[in-house]
Amino acid sequence: MAKLRYGIIGTGGAGQGKHLTSYAQNPDVEIIAVCDIIAEKANQAADRFNVEAAYTDYNEMLREEKLDLVSVATPNHVHAPATIAALQAGCHVHCEKPASLTPALVRSMVAARDKSGKKLMIGLNNRFTNWAQFAKAFVDAGSLGEIYHAKCGWKRRRGIPGKGGWFTTKAQSGGGPLIDLGVHFIDVSNYIMGFPKPVTVSGQTYSKFADGQAFNPKASGYTGTYDVEDLAVGFVRYDNGCTLDLEFSWASNIDSEYSYVELYGTKAGLKIERGQVTIFQDFNGTPLDSKPKLKPETGWGMAECLHYTECIRKNKEPIARPDECVLIMEIINALYKSAEKNAEVKIKA
């Protein structure tokens, strides 16, 4: 069987470090073309991964190369237009997270997928980790009983990505750590819980580090934009009575970087802390904690990219579906609205 003809749009950090590195090792894929709006970046990626064709315009690449599979690893505001263009060109698309900037844009990507008959998967690599797969199977087996509350977060002491670039420019990123880091852990928490329907969100955002260390326009003469939050906190209520408490930051005066998911169940609790799983139970009145020995992780994106080509070949629905990303974007969007209004926001049914 001929290999899948592969191309990529956006050859920056995730494009090279995750997509090109993983697909280059995928025996079912031949890397045909790369595209980056900056010619030097496209050429550098082409040299590094031994690819003949380098483009600066993704429409031209899609027209010329007749690709089967395309990755989109651009700044967030390019995800929807590039994904839709690739679907319309007859390609399966593996688009980075967050799917896009708003629920309406994610819906437009889902509609384009449905019209094209091709597959669209979002790069939610945390779903493919051994800890998430274990937790999902454990919850699906009923081992926690009823999950009535959950907590998730990812906090950094100092970790604002590309300060002054697209990450900190709301029109291009859609927001700060809530959309950047939160999309991973809100997603994986909802995935493990089986996607209950969110009904209201209350939250607050803070921006306290815009003029802080390494980004002081007055002192440095630097003119980049910083119009996003650096801390977001929130509380989600679901239609099944369950609640979710969340916090995401790029910069806070805390001990050190920390990520977690905690599930409170009637039969047991489950905590994922920096990728380690602990289960909390009670045996005849005695607390019983257990730590499953999970298989070692493969490289960043490796399991995800292998899964995607298998879905294409066997016509299976990918694990990280864009339809579910609409719900995650609804939560993120409602939290930003709640922060603006200083009030709880309802998510429309």
Ligand X SMILES: NC(=O)c1ccc[n+]([C@@H]2O[C@H](COP(=O)([O-])OP(=O)(O)OC[C@H]3O[C@@H](n4cnc5c(N)ncnc54)[C@H](O)[C@@H]3O)[C@@H](O)[C@H]2O)c1
Residue 148 or 162: which CB sits closer to ligand X?
162
- The SS3 of residue 258 is strand
Chain-centre distance for alpha carbon 135: 18
Does residue 172 contact residue 75 with C-beta atoms inside 8 Å? Answer: yes
Q: Amino acid letter at 162?
A: G
Of 37-45, 147-155, 190-198, 289-297: span binding ligand X (CB under 6 A): 37-45
DSSP 64-101: HH--SEEEE-S-HHHHHHHHHHHHHTT-EEEEESSS-S
Residue 37 or 294: which CB sits closer to ligand X?
37
Residue 39 or 288: which CB sits closer to ligand X?
39
Among 8, 9, 29, 326, binds ligand X (CB under 6 A): 9
Of 8-16, 138-146, 286-294, 320-328: span binding ligand X (CB under 6 A): 8-16
**Residue 153 near ligand X by CB under 6 A:** no
Taking alpha carbons only, the member of 29, 34, 333 closest to residue 186 is 333
Q: Amino acid letter at 80?
A: A
CB count within 10 Å of CB 284 equals 5
The mark string for 180-209 relative to ligand X (x by CB under 6 A, - otherwise) is x-----------------------------
Among 7, 75, 164, 198, binds ligand X (CB under 6 A): 75
**Residue 58 near ligand X by CB under 6 A:** yes
**Residue 96 near ligand X by CB under 6 A:** yes
**Residue 106 near ligand X by CB under 6 A:** no
**Residue 36 near ligand X by CB under 6 A:** yes
**Residue 154 near ligand X by CB under 6 A:** no
CB count within 10 Å of CB 303 equals 19
Report the nearest approach of ligand X to the CB of residue 27 (Å): 23
Beta-sheet strand order (sheet of 345-346): 286-290, 276-283, 269-273, 258-265, 147-155, 243-249, 231-238, 198-206, 345-346
Enumerate binding residues for ligand X (CB under 6 A): 9-15, 35-38, 41, 58, 73-76, 78, 96-97, 123, 125, 180
